[in-house]
Structure 1
Amino acid sequence: MSTESPPPLFERMLGMLEPAQLLAWAMSHYIRVCSEAVFQNGQLFAPITQTRRLRDEAFGRFWIEFTSPRQMSSDPTNTEIPEPVGSSALIPPLLRTATGTVLDIGPGTGTQMPLLTSPSITALYGAEPCISLHSTLRATAAAAGIASKYHILPSGVAASDLLPALRATNTGVVDQYDADPRAGIFDTILCVRVLCSVPEMERTVKELYGMLKPGGRLLVTEHVVNPWKRAKGSLLGRIVQGVYQVLGWSYFIGDCCLDRDTERVLRGVADVDGGWESVELESAFEWSAMPYISGTLVKKMV
Protein backbone atom coordinates (compact mmCIF):
# COMPACT_ATOMS: atom_id res chain seq x y z
CA MET A 1 0.00 0.00 0.00
CA SER A 2 1.04 3.63 -0.41
CA THR A 3 1.11 6.25 2.31
CA GLU A 4 2.47 8.94 -0.02
CA SER A 5 0.49 12.05 -0.92
CA PRO A 6 0.84 13.37 -4.49
CA PRO A 7 2.87 16.58 -4.87
CA PRO A 8 1.37 19.81 -6.24
CA LEU A 9 0.23 19.80 -9.87
CA PHE A 10 3.28 21.64 -11.22
CA GLU A 11 5.67 19.13 -9.62
CA ARG A 12 3.60 16.25 -10.98
CA MET A 13 3.87 17.68 -14.50
CA LEU A 14 7.63 18.05 -14.14
CA GLY A 15 7.79 14.46 -12.89
CA MET A 16 6.17 13.29 -16.11
CA LEU A 17 9.15 14.75 -18.00
CA GLU A 18 11.83 12.95 -15.97
CA PRO A 19 11.85 9.87 -18.25
CA ALA A 20 12.24 12.18 -21.26
CA GLN A 21 15.50 13.48 -19.83
CA LEU A 22 16.80 9.95 -19.31
CA LEU A 23 15.70 8.90 -22.80
CA ALA A 24 17.45 11.87 -24.44
CA TRP A 25 20.58 11.14 -22.40
CA ALA A 26 20.64 7.48 -23.47
CA MET A 27 19.93 8.38 -27.11
CA SER A 28 22.90 10.78 -27.14
CA HIS A 29 25.20 7.95 -26.10
CA TYR A 30 23.80 5.68 -28.81
CA ILE A 31 24.31 8.34 -31.49
CA ARG A 32 27.87 8.89 -30.27
CA VAL A 33 28.70 5.17 -30.30
CA CYS A 34 27.28 4.75 -33.80
CA SER A 35 29.23 7.79 -35.01
CA GLU A 36 32.47 6.40 -33.59
CA ALA A 37 31.88 3.07 -35.31
CA VAL A 38 31.27 4.72 -38.68
CA PHE A 39 33.66 7.68 -38.71
CA GLN A 40 36.49 6.57 -36.40
CA ASN A 41 36.56 2.82 -36.99
CA GLY A 42 35.40 2.79 -40.61
CA GLN A 43 32.57 0.33 -39.87
CA LEU A 44 30.11 1.89 -42.28
CA PHE A 45 27.38 -0.69 -41.82
CA ALA A 46 27.83 -1.31 -38.09
CA PRO A 47 24.61 0.57 -37.12
CA ILE A 48 22.74 -1.96 -39.27
CA THR A 49 24.76 -5.17 -38.87
CA GLN A 50 25.99 -4.76 -35.27
CA THR A 51 22.97 -3.15 -33.66
CA ARG A 52 23.03 -5.31 -30.51
CA ARG A 53 26.70 -4.63 -29.82
CA LEU A 54 26.33 -0.90 -30.29
CA ARG A 55 23.23 -0.76 -28.14
CA ASP A 56 25.00 -2.63 -25.33
CA GLU A 57 28.05 -0.38 -25.52
CA ALA A 58 25.95 2.78 -25.55
CA PHE A 59 23.81 1.62 -22.65
CA GLY A 60 26.93 0.66 -20.68
CA ARG A 61 28.32 4.17 -21.09
CA PHE A 62 24.99 5.73 -20.17
CA TRP A 63 24.59 3.55 -17.09
CA ILE A 64 28.10 4.27 -15.82
CA GLU A 65 27.40 7.98 -16.15
CA PHE A 66 23.88 7.78 -14.74
CA THR A 67 24.86 5.76 -11.67
CA SER A 68 27.93 7.84 -10.80
CA PRO A 69 27.17 9.37 -7.38
CA ARG A 70 28.61 12.70 -8.45
CA GLN A 71 27.28 12.88 -12.00
CA MET A 72 24.98 15.77 -11.09
CA SER A 73 27.65 17.76 -9.25
CA SER A 74 28.98 20.91 -10.89
CA ASP A 75 32.05 20.91 -8.62
CA PRO A 76 34.59 18.26 -9.72
CA THR A 77 36.48 18.64 -6.43
CA ASN A 78 33.45 17.63 -4.39
CA THR A 79 34.03 14.02 -3.33
CA GLU A 80 31.11 13.78 -0.93
CA ILE A 81 28.46 11.31 -2.03
CA PRO A 82 25.07 13.04 -1.85
CA GLU A 83 22.20 11.71 0.19
CA PRO A 84 19.90 9.63 -2.06
CA VAL A 85 16.69 11.31 -3.11
CA GLY A 86 13.56 10.23 -4.92
CA SER A 87 13.37 6.55 -5.79
CA SER A 88 17.03 6.10 -4.83
CA ALA A 89 16.09 6.72 -1.19
CA LEU A 90 14.08 3.48 -1.22
CA ILE A 91 17.19 1.35 -1.75
CA PRO A 92 19.55 1.76 1.26
CA PRO A 93 17.23 0.63 4.08
CA LEU A 94 16.24 -2.41 2.05
CA LEU A 95 19.69 -3.60 0.98
CA ARG A 96 21.15 -3.23 4.44
CA THR A 97 18.98 -6.18 5.50
CA ALA A 98 20.68 -8.61 3.06
CA THR A 99 22.27 -11.66 4.69
CA GLY A 100 23.90 -15.00 3.86
CA THR A 101 24.56 -16.02 0.26
CA VAL A 102 23.31 -13.15 -1.89
CA LEU A 103 22.45 -12.89 -5.59
CA ASP A 104 22.69 -9.34 -6.91
CA ILE A 105 20.83 -9.16 -10.22
CA GLY A 106 22.15 -6.64 -12.73
CA PRO A 107 24.55 -4.80 -10.38
CA GLY A 108 25.72 -2.53 -13.20
CA THR A 109 28.67 -0.48 -11.96
CA GLY A 110 28.23 -1.60 -8.34
CA THR A 111 26.68 1.62 -7.06
CA GLN A 112 24.96 -0.36 -4.32
CA MET A 113 28.17 -2.07 -3.16
CA PRO A 114 28.69 0.15 -0.07
CA LEU A 115 25.33 -1.13 1.22
CA LEU A 116 26.47 -4.75 0.97
CA THR A 117 29.51 -4.82 3.24
CA SER A 118 27.83 -6.37 6.29
CA PRO A 119 29.68 -9.33 7.86
CA SER A 120 26.34 -11.16 7.83
CA ILE A 121 26.75 -11.49 4.05
CA THR A 122 28.95 -14.52 3.45
CA ALA A 123 29.10 -14.44 -0.36
CA LEU A 124 27.88 -12.18 -3.16
CA TYR A 125 27.18 -13.19 -6.75
CA GLY A 126 26.60 -10.37 -9.24
CA ALA A 127 24.86 -11.48 -12.44
CA GLU A 128 25.76 -8.77 -14.96
CA PRO A 129 25.39 -9.60 -18.69
CA CYS A 130 26.82 -6.25 -19.84
CA ILE A 131 30.51 -7.16 -20.10
CA SER A 132 31.58 -3.55 -20.57
CA LEU A 133 30.55 -2.85 -16.96
CA HIS A 134 32.66 -5.64 -15.42
CA SER A 135 35.89 -3.70 -14.97
CA THR A 136 34.08 -0.92 -13.12
CA LEU A 137 32.15 -3.46 -11.06
CA ARG A 138 35.38 -5.26 -10.14
CA ALA A 139 37.03 -2.01 -9.08
CA THR A 140 34.02 -1.03 -7.00
CA ALA A 141 34.06 -4.34 -5.16
CA ALA A 142 37.75 -3.86 -4.38
CA ALA A 143 37.17 -0.31 -3.14
CA ALA A 144 34.37 -1.55 -0.87
CA GLY A 145 36.68 -4.21 0.59
CA ILE A 146 34.54 -7.15 -0.51
CA ALA A 147 36.41 -8.33 -3.61
CA SER A 148 37.23 -11.66 -1.95
CA LYS A 149 33.58 -12.59 -1.59
CA TYR A 150 32.14 -10.87 -4.67
CA HIS A 151 31.86 -13.09 -7.75
CA ILE A 152 30.97 -11.49 -11.09
CA LEU A 153 28.82 -13.70 -13.29
CA PRO A 154 28.87 -12.85 -17.02
CA SER A 155 25.27 -13.94 -17.45
CA GLY A 156 21.64 -12.98 -17.33
CA VAL A 157 19.33 -14.35 -14.66
CA ALA A 158 17.52 -17.01 -16.66
CA ALA A 159 18.37 -20.36 -15.07
CA SER A 160 19.86 -21.62 -18.34
CA ASP A 161 22.48 -18.83 -18.14
CA LEU A 162 22.81 -18.34 -14.40
CA LEU A 163 23.34 -21.92 -13.22
CA PRO A 164 26.30 -22.64 -15.57
CA ALA A 165 27.87 -19.33 -14.55
CA LEU A 166 27.48 -20.21 -10.87
CA ARG A 167 29.07 -23.63 -11.43
CA ALA A 168 31.96 -21.98 -13.26
CA THR A 169 32.90 -20.07 -10.08
CA ASN A 170 33.94 -23.40 -8.49
CA THR A 171 32.67 -22.17 -5.12
CA GLY A 172 30.30 -25.10 -4.63
CA VAL A 173 27.37 -22.72 -4.27
CA VAL A 174 25.06 -24.93 -6.37
CA ASP A 175 26.14 -28.34 -5.03
CA GLN A 176 23.25 -28.72 -2.62
CA TYR A 177 20.78 -27.36 -5.18
CA ASP A 178 21.98 -29.86 -7.79
CA ALA A 179 21.41 -32.69 -5.31
CA ASP A 180 17.97 -31.38 -4.25
CA PRO A 181 16.48 -28.31 -6.03
CA ARG A 182 14.11 -27.77 -3.09
CA ALA A 183 17.14 -26.74 -1.02
CA GLY A 184 17.57 -23.57 -3.07
CA ILE A 185 20.79 -21.61 -3.46
CA PHE A 186 20.42 -18.09 -2.08
CA ASP A 187 19.42 -16.64 1.28
CA THR A 188 18.78 -13.25 -0.32
CA ILE A 189 18.07 -12.17 -3.89
CA LEU A 190 18.30 -8.47 -4.77
CA CYS A 191 16.06 -7.07 -7.50
CA VAL A 192 16.80 -3.36 -7.85
CA ARG A 193 15.67 -1.64 -11.06
CA VAL A 194 16.30 -4.80 -13.05
CA LEU A 195 13.09 -6.81 -13.53
CA CYS A 196 11.94 -4.10 -15.92
CA SER A 197 14.48 -5.32 -18.46
CA VAL A 198 14.89 -9.08 -18.04
CA PRO A 199 13.49 -11.13 -20.94
CA GLU A 200 10.43 -13.27 -20.19
CA MET A 201 10.02 -11.73 -16.75
CA GLU A 202 7.37 -14.15 -15.46
CA ARG A 203 9.47 -17.22 -16.26
CA THR A 204 12.60 -15.56 -14.88
CA VAL A 205 10.93 -14.64 -11.59
CA LYS A 206 9.64 -18.21 -11.22
CA GLU A 207 13.19 -19.50 -11.70
CA LEU A 208 14.55 -17.02 -9.16
CA TYR A 209 11.88 -18.09 -6.69
CA GLY A 210 13.06 -21.68 -7.13
CA MET A 211 16.63 -20.63 -6.31
CA LEU A 212 15.60 -19.04 -3.03
CA LYS A 213 16.23 -21.20 0.01
CA PRO A 214 13.21 -21.94 2.21
CA GLY A 215 12.91 -18.88 4.44
CA GLY A 216 14.95 -16.88 1.92
CA ARG A 217 14.05 -13.31 1.08
CA LEU A 218 13.53 -11.43 -2.17
CA LEU A 219 14.38 -7.74 -1.72
CA VAL A 220 12.72 -5.61 -4.37
CA THR A 221 12.86 -1.99 -5.53
CA GLU A 222 11.37 -1.79 -9.01
CA HIS A 223 9.54 0.73 -11.15
CA VAL A 224 6.28 -0.69 -12.45
CA VAL A 225 3.27 0.01 -14.64
CA ASN A 226 1.23 2.88 -13.27
CA PRO A 227 -1.65 1.48 -11.17
CA TRP A 228 -4.02 4.02 -12.69
CA LYS A 229 -7.16 2.26 -11.45
CA ARG A 230 -6.13 2.78 -7.83
CA ALA A 231 -7.10 5.89 -5.91
CA LYS A 232 -3.55 7.26 -5.93
CA GLY A 233 -2.68 6.04 -9.43
CA SER A 234 -2.69 8.28 -12.50
CA LEU A 235 -4.28 7.72 -15.89
CA LEU A 236 -2.03 10.44 -17.28
CA GLY A 237 0.99 8.65 -15.84
CA ARG A 238 -0.10 5.45 -17.58
CA ILE A 239 -0.57 7.25 -20.90
CA VAL A 240 2.82 8.92 -20.62
CA GLN A 241 4.44 5.52 -20.00
CA GLY A 242 2.97 4.30 -23.28
CA VAL A 243 4.22 7.38 -25.12
CA TYR A 244 7.79 6.84 -23.92
CA GLN A 245 7.64 3.19 -24.94
CA VAL A 246 6.62 4.22 -28.47
CA LEU A 247 9.46 6.78 -28.59
CA GLY A 248 12.03 4.03 -28.09
CA TRP A 249 12.49 3.76 -24.33
CA SER A 250 13.16 0.01 -24.42
CA TYR A 251 15.47 0.26 -27.42
CA PHE A 252 17.79 2.89 -25.98
CA ILE A 253 17.62 2.00 -22.27
CA GLY A 254 18.78 -1.59 -22.07
CA ASP A 255 15.45 -3.28 -22.99
CA CYS A 256 13.79 -1.61 -19.99
CA CYS A 257 9.96 -1.62 -20.03
CA LEU A 258 7.98 1.07 -18.22
CA ASP A 259 4.71 -0.86 -18.32
CA ARG A 260 5.38 -4.19 -16.59
CA ASP A 261 2.98 -5.37 -13.88
CA THR A 262 5.87 -6.61 -11.76
CA GLU A 263 3.95 -6.66 -8.48
CA ARG A 264 1.36 -9.07 -9.86
CA VAL A 265 4.08 -11.43 -11.07
CA LEU A 266 6.00 -11.29 -7.80
CA ARG A 267 2.94 -11.99 -5.68
CA GLY A 268 1.73 -14.82 -7.89
CA VAL A 269 4.98 -16.71 -8.35
CA ALA A 270 4.74 -18.37 -4.93
CA ASP A 271 1.24 -19.76 -5.52
CA VAL A 272 2.80 -23.15 -6.25
CA ASP A 273 3.72 -23.33 -2.54
CA GLY A 274 0.53 -21.74 -1.25
CA GLY A 275 1.89 -18.22 -1.38
CA TRP A 276 4.72 -16.35 0.32
CA GLU A 277 5.31 -16.61 4.05
CA SER A 278 5.03 -12.81 4.13
CA VAL A 279 4.84 -9.93 1.67
CA GLU A 280 5.72 -6.40 2.73
CA LEU A 281 5.58 -4.15 -0.33
CA GLU A 282 5.11 -0.39 -0.30
CA SER A 283 4.14 1.70 -3.32
CA ALA A 284 5.66 5.09 -4.10
CA PHE A 285 5.26 7.79 -6.76
CA GLU A 286 1.98 6.29 -8.00
CA TRP A 287 1.10 9.69 -9.46
CA SER A 288 4.06 9.58 -11.87
CA ALA A 289 5.29 7.91 -15.04
CA MET A 290 7.75 5.90 -12.92
CA PRO A 291 5.88 4.51 -9.90
CA TYR A 292 7.81 2.11 -7.65
CA ILE A 293 7.24 -0.86 -5.40
CA SER A 294 9.74 -1.61 -2.65
CA GLY A 295 9.94 -4.23 0.07
CA THR A 296 10.52 -7.85 1.08
CA LEU A 297 8.95 -11.16 0.12
CA VAL A 298 9.79 -14.18 2.30
CA LYS A 299 9.60 -17.75 1.02
CA LYS A 300 7.82 -20.33 3.12
CA MET A 301 9.84 -22.88 5.02
CA VAL A 302 9.48 -26.45 3.79
Structure 2
Amino acid sequence: MALRDRIFARVYDRVLAPLEEAGLQTWRAELLADLSGTVVEIGAGTGANLPHYPAAVDRLVLTEPEPLMLRQLRDRVDRAPAGVDVTARRATASSLPLGEGEADAVVATLVLCTVPEPDAVLAEARRVLRPGGRLVFLEHVAADDRPERLRRQRMLDPFWPHLAGGCRLTRRTEAAIVDAGFRITSITRESARKAPTVIRPMIRGTAVAPA
Protein backbone atom coordinates (compact mmCIF):
# COMPACT_ATOMS: atom_id res chain seq x y z
CA MET A 1 0.00 0.00 0.00
CA ALA A 2 1.13 3.54 -0.69
CA LEU A 3 1.69 5.73 2.37
CA ARG A 4 -1.26 7.96 1.44
CA ASP A 5 -3.55 4.89 1.30
CA ARG A 6 -2.44 3.75 4.75
CA ILE A 7 -3.05 7.22 6.17
CA PHE A 8 -6.46 7.43 4.49
CA ALA A 9 -7.50 4.04 5.89
CA ARG A 10 -6.51 5.07 9.41
CA VAL A 11 -8.38 8.41 9.40
CA TYR A 12 -11.39 7.34 7.33
CA ASP A 13 -13.78 6.67 10.21
CA ARG A 14 -12.87 9.88 12.02
CA VAL A 15 -13.32 11.96 8.87
CA LEU A 16 -16.73 10.45 8.15
CA ALA A 17 -18.02 10.58 11.75
CA PRO A 18 -19.63 14.06 11.52
CA LEU A 19 -21.32 13.12 8.22
CA GLU A 20 -22.63 9.87 9.67
CA GLU A 21 -24.17 11.74 12.59
CA ALA A 22 -25.60 14.39 10.27
CA GLY A 23 -27.58 11.94 8.16
CA LEU A 24 -25.52 9.25 6.47
CA GLN A 25 -26.41 6.65 9.11
CA THR A 26 -30.10 7.26 8.52
CA TRP A 27 -29.70 7.11 4.75
CA ARG A 28 -27.77 3.82 4.98
CA ALA A 29 -30.44 2.28 7.20
CA GLU A 30 -33.26 3.32 4.87
CA LEU A 31 -31.48 2.00 1.77
CA LEU A 32 -30.65 -1.40 3.22
CA ALA A 33 -33.82 -2.02 5.24
CA ASP A 34 -35.66 -4.29 2.79
CA LEU A 35 -32.76 -6.29 1.34
CA SER A 36 -32.90 -10.07 1.50
CA GLY A 37 -31.21 -13.18 0.16
CA THR A 38 -27.63 -12.99 -1.09
CA VAL A 39 -26.11 -9.51 -0.97
CA VAL A 40 -22.65 -8.35 -2.06
CA GLU A 41 -21.23 -5.00 -1.02
CA ILE A 42 -18.49 -3.46 -3.15
CA GLY A 43 -15.85 -1.30 -1.49
CA ALA A 44 -17.18 -2.06 1.97
CA GLY A 45 -14.41 -0.02 3.59
CA THR A 46 -14.35 -0.33 7.37
CA GLY A 47 -17.92 -1.63 7.63
CA ALA A 48 -20.15 1.41 8.10
CA ASN A 49 -23.10 -0.45 6.57
CA LEU A 50 -22.81 -3.55 8.75
CA PRO A 51 -25.20 -2.50 11.55
CA HIS A 52 -27.91 -1.67 9.01
CA TYR A 53 -28.29 -4.97 7.16
CA PRO A 54 -31.58 -6.67 8.02
CA ALA A 55 -31.85 -10.23 9.29
CA ALA A 56 -33.62 -11.16 6.02
CA VAL A 57 -30.18 -11.14 4.35
CA ASP A 58 -29.11 -14.79 4.39
CA ARG A 59 -25.64 -14.33 2.95
CA LEU A 60 -23.56 -11.14 2.94
CA VAL A 61 -20.32 -10.93 0.94
CA LEU A 62 -18.28 -7.84 1.79
CA THR A 63 -15.51 -6.94 -0.67
CA GLU A 64 -12.68 -4.48 -0.14
CA PRO A 65 -9.40 -4.19 -2.09
CA GLU A 66 -7.28 -2.25 0.43
CA PRO A 67 -5.56 -4.50 3.02
CA LEU A 68 -5.76 -2.09 5.97
CA MET A 69 -9.41 -1.31 5.31
CA LEU A 70 -10.08 -5.04 4.98
CA ARG A 71 -8.40 -5.73 8.32
CA GLN A 72 -10.66 -3.21 10.06
CA LEU A 73 -13.67 -4.60 8.21
CA ARG A 74 -12.95 -8.14 9.38
CA ASP A 75 -12.65 -6.89 12.95
CA ARG A 76 -16.22 -5.58 12.68
CA VAL A 77 -18.13 -8.40 11.03
CA ASP A 78 -19.84 -9.09 14.35
CA ARG A 79 -21.92 -5.95 13.71
CA ALA A 80 -24.04 -7.90 11.25
CA PRO A 81 -27.41 -9.20 12.47
CA ALA A 82 -27.40 -12.61 14.15
CA GLY A 83 -27.97 -15.46 11.74
CA VAL A 84 -26.51 -13.70 8.69
CA ASP A 85 -23.67 -15.59 6.98
CA VAL A 86 -21.00 -12.87 6.56
CA THR A 87 -17.66 -13.09 4.76
CA ALA A 88 -15.18 -10.30 4.06
CA ARG A 89 -13.08 -10.86 0.95
CA ARG A 90 -10.23 -8.95 -0.64
CA ALA A 91 -11.51 -8.16 -4.11
CA THR A 92 -11.80 -5.22 -6.47
CA ALA A 93 -15.22 -3.95 -7.49
CA SER A 94 -14.56 -4.99 -11.09
CA SER A 95 -13.79 -8.63 -10.17
CA LEU A 96 -16.29 -9.89 -7.62
CA PRO A 97 -16.01 -13.37 -6.05
CA LEU A 98 -19.51 -14.46 -7.12
CA GLY A 99 -20.89 -16.37 -10.03
CA GLU A 100 -23.17 -15.02 -12.72
CA GLY A 101 -26.64 -14.22 -11.38
CA GLU A 102 -25.73 -15.30 -7.85
CA ALA A 103 -26.67 -12.11 -5.99
CA ASP A 104 -30.07 -10.68 -5.14
CA ALA A 105 -28.59 -7.24 -4.48
CA VAL A 106 -25.37 -5.29 -4.93
CA VAL A 107 -24.66 -2.43 -2.51
CA ALA A 108 -22.47 0.55 -3.46
CA THR A 109 -22.12 3.35 -0.92
CA LEU A 110 -19.50 6.06 -1.42
CA VAL A 111 -17.50 3.82 -3.73
CA LEU A 112 -18.42 4.59 -7.36
CA CYS A 113 -16.64 7.94 -6.94
CA THR A 114 -13.35 6.16 -6.23
CA VAL A 115 -13.13 3.25 -8.66
CA PRO A 116 -10.92 3.89 -11.71
CA GLU A 117 -13.48 2.51 -14.20
CA PRO A 118 -17.07 2.88 -12.97
CA ASP A 119 -18.46 1.43 -16.20
CA ALA A 120 -16.53 -1.81 -15.61
CA VAL A 121 -17.74 -1.94 -12.01
CA LEU A 122 -21.37 -1.49 -13.03
CA ALA A 123 -20.98 -4.17 -15.69
CA GLU A 124 -19.63 -6.51 -13.02
CA ALA A 125 -22.58 -5.68 -10.77
CA ARG A 126 -24.91 -6.67 -13.62
CA ARG A 127 -23.00 -9.92 -14.10
CA VAL A 128 -23.41 -11.11 -10.51
CA LEU A 129 -27.02 -9.93 -10.13
CA ARG A 130 -29.91 -12.22 -10.93
CA PRO A 131 -32.39 -10.84 -13.50
CA GLY A 132 -34.42 -8.22 -11.67
CA GLY A 133 -31.86 -8.00 -8.86
CA ARG A 134 -31.20 -4.65 -7.25
CA LEU A 135 -28.31 -2.20 -7.23
CA VAL A 136 -28.57 -0.05 -4.10
CA PHE A 137 -26.47 3.12 -4.20
CA LEU A 138 -25.47 6.13 -2.11
CA GLU A 139 -22.94 8.38 -3.83
CA HIS A 140 -21.77 11.97 -4.02
CA VAL A 141 -21.88 13.42 -7.53
CA ALA A 142 -21.14 16.41 -9.73
CA ALA A 143 -23.04 19.55 -8.71
CA ASP A 144 -24.71 20.05 -12.08
CA ASP A 145 -27.44 22.23 -10.55
CA ARG A 146 -24.93 24.54 -8.82
CA PRO A 147 -22.58 26.03 -11.46
CA GLU A 148 -20.30 27.73 -8.96
CA ARG A 149 -19.91 24.58 -6.89
CA LEU A 150 -19.34 22.54 -10.05
CA ARG A 151 -16.60 24.96 -11.03
CA ARG A 152 -14.88 24.38 -7.66
CA GLN A 153 -15.27 20.62 -8.08
CA ARG A 154 -13.60 20.76 -11.48
CA MET A 155 -10.80 22.94 -10.13
CA LEU A 156 -10.07 20.53 -7.27
CA ASP A 157 -10.65 17.28 -9.14
CA PRO A 158 -7.03 16.80 -10.32
CA PHE A 159 -5.79 16.99 -6.71
CA TRP A 160 -8.64 15.57 -4.61
CA PRO A 161 -7.98 11.87 -5.40
CA HIS A 162 -4.52 12.14 -3.84
CA LEU A 163 -6.07 13.30 -0.56
CA ALA A 164 -9.19 11.14 -0.50
CA GLY A 165 -8.33 7.60 -1.54
CA GLY A 166 -8.88 8.09 -5.28
CA CYS A 167 -12.22 9.90 -4.91
CA ARG A 168 -13.35 11.96 -7.92
CA LEU A 169 -15.61 14.97 -7.47
CA THR A 170 -17.32 15.23 -10.84
CA ARG A 171 -18.74 11.76 -11.44
CA ARG A 172 -22.21 11.62 -13.01
CA THR A 173 -23.16 8.36 -11.40
CA GLU A 174 -26.88 8.44 -12.14
CA ALA A 175 -26.19 8.59 -15.88
CA ALA A 176 -23.54 5.87 -15.59
CA ILE A 177 -26.02 3.54 -13.87
CA VAL A 178 -28.57 4.05 -16.63
CA ASP A 179 -25.95 3.68 -19.35
CA ALA A 180 -24.95 0.34 -17.79
CA GLY A 181 -28.42 -1.01 -18.50
CA PHE A 182 -30.03 -0.60 -15.09
CA ARG A 183 -33.49 0.87 -14.60
CA ILE A 184 -33.61 3.33 -11.72
CA THR A 185 -36.75 2.71 -9.68
CA SER A 186 -36.16 5.25 -6.91
CA ILE A 187 -33.74 8.12 -6.44
CA THR A 188 -33.36 10.96 -3.95
CA ARG A 189 -31.09 13.95 -4.49
CA GLU A 190 -29.99 15.70 -1.35
CA SER A 191 -27.21 17.80 0.17
CA ALA A 192 -25.07 16.17 2.84
CA ARG A 193 -24.95 18.50 5.81
CA LYS A 194 -21.56 19.01 7.49
CA ALA A 195 -19.72 17.63 4.46
CA PRO A 196 -17.22 19.79 2.57
CA THR A 197 -19.22 21.74 0.00
CA VAL A 198 -17.59 19.95 -2.94
CA ILE A 199 -18.96 16.57 -1.82
CA ARG A 200 -22.37 17.67 -0.54
CA PRO A 201 -24.41 16.77 -3.65
CA MET A 202 -25.62 13.21 -3.02
CA ILE A 203 -27.86 10.70 -4.73
CA ARG A 204 -29.28 7.56 -3.16
CA GLY A 205 -31.70 4.99 -4.44
CA THR A 206 -32.29 1.66 -6.14
CA ALA A 207 -31.85 0.42 -9.70
CA VAL A 208 -32.97 -2.90 -11.17
CA ALA A 209 -30.95 -5.21 -13.40
CA PRO A 210 -32.54 -6.25 -16.71
CA ALA A 211 -34.87 -9.22 -16.43
In structure 2, distance between residues paired with 1:113 and 1:299:
24
Within 5 Å, give how 1:120-135 maps onto structure 2.
120-135=56-71
Mapped pair 1:297 → 2:207: yes
CA distance in 1, matches of 2:40, 2:48: 15
1:65 equivalenced with 2:14 (yes/no): yes
Matched, 1:254 2:165: yes
Query: Which residue number in structure 1 is paired with residue 191 of structure 2?
Result: 285
Residues 212 and 299, structure 1, Cα contact 8 Å, conserved in 2 = yes
Cα distance in 2 for residues equivalent to 1:295 and 1:208: 15
Computed over aligned residues only, the root mean square deviation of the Cα atoms, in angstroms, reads 2.3
State the identity as a percent.
27
AA in 1 matched with 2:165: G
- Aligned partners of 1:245 and 1:83: how far apart in 2? 23
**1:264 and 1:83 mapped to 2: Cα distance?**
26
Question: 1:99–1:120: 8 Å Cα contact kept in structure 2?
Answer: yes
Aligned mates of 1:83, 1:222 — CA distance in 2 = 14
Among 126, 150, 157, the alignment partner of 1:209 is 126
CA shift in 2, pair 1:210/1:188, >3 Å: same
Match of 2:103 in 1: 186
Alpha-carbon offset, residue 83 of structure 1: 7.7
State the structure with more CA Rg: 1
Q: With structure 2 as the length reference, what TM-score do the two structures score? A: 0.87
Partner residue in 1 for 2:4? 55
Gap runs ≥5 in structure 2: none
Distance in 1 (alpha carbons) for counterparts of 2:153 and 2:140: 11
Displacement of 1:119: 2.4
Higher helix residue share: 1
CA distance in 2, matches of 1:87, 1:235: 25
Stretches of 4+ aligned residues off by more than 4 angstroms: 145-148
Are positions 1:100 and 2:37 aligned together? yes
Q: Classify the secondary structure of the residue corresponding to 2:2.
A: helix
Q: 2:116 aligns with which of 199, 219, 243?
A: 199
Show the counterpart of 2:156: 244
Question: How far 1:134 moved relative to its partner?
Answer: 2.4
Q: Tell me which of 265, 279, 294 is aligned to 2:176.
A: 265
| Matched-pair contact (CA < 8 Å) for 1:138–1:147 | no
d(CA) in 2 for partners of 1:282, 1:267:
15
Residue number among 113, 118, 123 corresponding to 2:50 in the alignment = 113
The Cα shift of 1:296 comes to: 0.6
1:235 equivalenced with 2:156 (yes/no):
no
Count of equivalent residues: 206
Q: Cα gap change, 1:143/1:91 in structure 2, threshold over 3 Å: closer, same or farther?
A: closer
The 8 Å contact of residues 141 and 147 in structure 1, kept in 2 or not, is answered as no
SS at match of 2:39: strand
Distance in 2 between the 1:203 and 1:108 partners? Answer: 19
